[in-house]
Amino acid sequence: MNPQELTGQARTHIVESKDPSYLLHLHVSTAFLALRRAAAAEGMDLAVQSSFRDFQRQLTIWNGKFEGTRPMNDADGRPIDAAELTPAERVDFILLWSALPGASRHHWGTDVDLIDRSAIAPGYQVQLTREEFEAGGPFAALACWLEENAARYGFFRPYRGVRCGVQPEPWHYSFAPVAENARRKLTIQILRTALEAAPLAGKELVLERLDELHDRYVMRIDQP
């Protein structure tokens, strides 16, 4: 991937599928479909809640949270008011759940947020919370199945809350053969160049801390 693809500013590496619906790296699509077929054999309708996300979309999410127009949560998933935080605290709280624009693994088309559509009751709105994937939640069976089977198809969980700064996300899976190469290629300078040109809320604070943020939220993942 080139710098524009790594930072979500191009989508030349992405293929689109309508049924099932997803936007994925062209070398990830086949692996995901194999994983989906295996899940179907167990009675699950494996679906992608989120796949490729471009730079502008990530920027909208970031700025909304920083400015208090989008919900922001603490480490336990409880709502927190951005107005009660200093700008530096806002950066830290946003990064618990949302990546910097240019630093999201979703830019690469290698990462997916997964659900089991067959487990959803009529009218249910998926939230992607840990409770949904724990015992008693609608996706508890899916979480167990993925833990046992995803690695056979090249997928792993980068956010388990062990090494990384991001909170555990049992719905988030990454295709290691492509994602690991992208992670190594996304240098601080590539990320800095993307952010310097963007209307990023809190930009000065972010750029001052970029070495630390790149290490903690890009390089430090829970390895496959």
| CATH number of the domain located at residue range(s) 3-219 in this protein | 3.30.1380.10
pLDDT of residue 81: 87
Residue written as token pair 């919900």:
71
SS3 assignment, position 178: helix
pLDDT of residue 126: 94
Quote the CA–CA distance of 83 and 26 in Å, as a whole number: 42
For the chain, which residues make up each domain, given as ranges? 3-219
pLDDT of residue 164: 75
Q: How far does Cα 138 stand from its chain's mean position?
A: 20
Nearest to 25 by CA among 112, 113, 152: 112
- β-pairing, 46-50 vs 111-116, is antiparallel
Low-confidence residues of the chain: pLDDT under 70: none
Quote the CA–CA distance of 171 and 169 in Å, as a whole number: 5
The string of DSSP letters for 67-129 reads HTSS-EE-TTS-EE-GGGS-HHHHHHHHHTTSPPTT--GGGGT-EEEEEEGGGPPTT------
pLDDT of residue 31: 97
pLDDT of residue 141: 97
pLDDT of residue 37: 98
SS3 assignment, position 14: strand
Model pTM score? 0.91
- Is the peptide bond preceding residue 224 cis, with omega within 30 degrees of 0? no
pLDDT of residue 162: 75
